[in-house]
Amino acid sequence: MTAAVPARAPRPPRSAAPTLRFERQILRDGVPALACADEVGRGSLSGPVTVGVVVVTAATRPAPQGVRDSKLLTPDARTRLAPQIQRWAACWSVGHAEPAEIDAYGIIAALRLAAHRALAGLSIPPATLLLDGNHDYVTSPAQDTLLGPPPVLDSVPPVRTLVKADLRCAAVAAASILAKTERDAIMTRLHDDHPEYGWAENKGYSAPEHLAALRRLGPTPHHRTSWRLPGLSGAEAGPAAPAAVLPDETLALDVAG
């Protein structure tokens, strides 16, 4: 298995639109189809972790106008752009890992599972996978066959990582929009059954309303109970929960401000 090749790019100005320049550099190196991926929901207290994948080829035209990292867009803008991205991409897919899988295998293995499910849904097999960030969470470690979830794919393509790819690379930004809109829709549907937690607004992140409901009512089957959630006793809570994360909309204000 080819190891991930990390790259670091200077952060573009906040007003700059991402382009396909980096993706096309990879395609010119003999890659016939490049998959570009981003994740959402890693730091949420409830709901799935989700990975979106967009495939581009040498024939792919510039991305639809307005494509940005999903955290920099309003919900209405993401909803408007998602079908345009689906028509624009050579192919696309979104994969999820459920809270029970996060509890059973850990967040990184769950991210891997969601990514593998997304890759399995592609109609065009990619020759290379580009990930946002500096960590390859897609390539399975050797011990994963013993400790991780059942395999979805026999193998994954070679992985490249790029820090701030969601700000620089249009296809990665497009993947983030597909992942965000699909996960948001799931959390909005779950809100109908559990309105006390405010998921239609906070999407499962640690907003005050969500934390207050956890303290008052405890967790639902959609919460990640291996994490140290309010409302769980020490015996029930997991030993090492990730830090709470604010809703993506709040993060967007932080980035923009």
Residue 195 lies in a domain: no
CATH of residue 50's domain is 3.30.420.10
Residue 88 lies in a domain: yes
Tell whether the model's pLDDT for residue 1 goes beyond 60.
no
Concatenate the DSSP letters of all residues of 190-231 into one string.
HHHH-GGG-HHHHTTS--HHHHHHHHHH---TTB-TTS--TT
Higher pLDDT among residues 85 and 11, named by residue: 85
Reported pTM: 0.85
* pLDDT one-digit tens code per residue, 205-227: 999 999 999 999 999 999 999 98
Residue 247 lies in a domain: no
Strand order in the sheet with 91-97: 5-8, 159-163, 128-132, 34-40, 49-56, 91-97
Q: Residue 23, annotated ligand binder? A: no
pLDDT for 100 equals 97
Q: How far apart are CA 179 and CA 117, in angstroms?
A: 13
Instruction: For residue 233, name the pLDDT band (cuts at 50, 70, 90).
Output: low
Residue 256 lies in a domain: no
Residue 246 lies in a domain: no
**Can you give the residue range of the structural domain that contains 158?**
20-188
Tell whether the model's pLDDT for residue 47 goes beyond 50.
yes
Cα 79 to Cα 74, 83, 178: the distances in Å are 9, 8, 9
pLDDT for 245 equals 40
Q: Stretch 150-154: mean pLDDT, rounded? A: 84
Residue 6 lies in a domain: no
Q: Residue 39, annotated ligand binder? A: yes
Residue 64 lies in a domain: yes
Number of structural domains (the chain) is: 1
Higher pLDDT among residues 4 and 79, named by residue: 79
Tell whether the model's pLDDT for residue 80 goes beyond 80.
yes
Q: Residue 254, annotated ligand binder? A: no
Question: For 30, which DSSP code?
Answer: T
pLDDT for 53 equals 99
Tokens of 132: 């946002």
Instruction: For residue 240, name the pLDDT band (cuts at 50, 70, 90).
Output: very low
pLDDT for 10 equals 52
Residue 94 lies in a domain: yes
The pLDDT mean for the chain works out to 87
Contact 69, 173 (CB under 8 A): yes
pLDDT for 144 equals 59
